Amino acid sequence: MKNLGLTFMMSVTLGILSVQLPAYAEGETGSYIPGTSGLTLPSLSLSFGNSQKPSDIVSVLRIIIMLTVLSLAPAILIMMTSFTRIVVVLSFLRQALGTQQMPPNQIIVGLALFLSFFIMSPTWKSISSNAIEPYLNEKIDQKAAYEKAETPLRDFMFKQTREKDLELFLSLSKEAKPNNQTEVPTYVLVPSFIISELKTAFQIGFMLYLPFLVLDMVVASVLMAMGMMMLPPIVISLPFKLLLFVLVDGWELVVGSIVKSFG
């Protein structure tokens, strides 16, 4: 890269800067007196310069790419993976049980996060082996790495996206009708995938509500027949809903159904 113009190279060096700070020594009475010893602290230096070697820029590009990925990680995790469906279904389940804030939001988000890692693990492995590792080993360039990383993620989204939703955003974007999936732009695929996930999550949430709704209606009818109209039905039905959920091993059924829905 001899003809490379002004390029920048960022090198981070860790040195030891001796700084004479007011140190302390222990006196006879247990007090401390200053000026008896020194303390060294590390310093961080940042330099910019020109480079004619491609290898000098590799570390800089890696840092830039890592920071870019980290800045987009929340959006990628929420919008382009299974996280949306899982967290919506778990939120519906909590409301159907009527347990207010139990489990807490942190538990629901954490469970949805780790379930997303579990479901997306084949996709991550494909991205790592086909895109990240060859790029870090300098076997492919950045453009090829991006294309190889995008393909497994697009394949996952296509499997979960309804054709009707995809046609909607294709018509809104006024793009020409694609002949195959590879011609569908990613900016069209992502919103199509999101609304498909929301629709699927609402369908699962409706099915979760049904047994608990029936139980609420039975309890309300019994209370009205007994003349206890001032007693909120939720107070009586909540223990029965929890008992029913535990007896049928509800967490196994719900989590298993969610994971299988991505098959």
In terms of Cα–Cα distance, which of 256, 205, 198 is closest to 96? 205
d(C-alpha 141, C-alpha 134), whole Å? 9
Residues 63 and 36 in one domain: no
Q: Is the pTM of this model over 0.85?
A: no
User: How many structural domains comprise the chain?
Assistant: 2
Residues 29 and 64 in one domain: no
- Amino acid code (one letter) for 262: F
The tens digit of pLDDT for each residue in 158-214 reads 888 888 888 888 888 877 787 887 888 888 888 899 999 999 999 988 888 888 888
Percent with pLDDT over 70 in the chain: 73
d(C-alpha 48, C-alpha 7), whole Å? 9
Parent domain of 148: 54-260
pLDDT exceeds cutoff 80 at 24: no
Residues 97 and 153 in one domain: yes
The distance from CA 251 to its chain's CA centroid, rounded to whole angstroms, is 21
Peptide bond into 185 cis (omega under 30): no
Residue 233 lies in a domain: yes
Residues 176 and 66 in one domain: yes
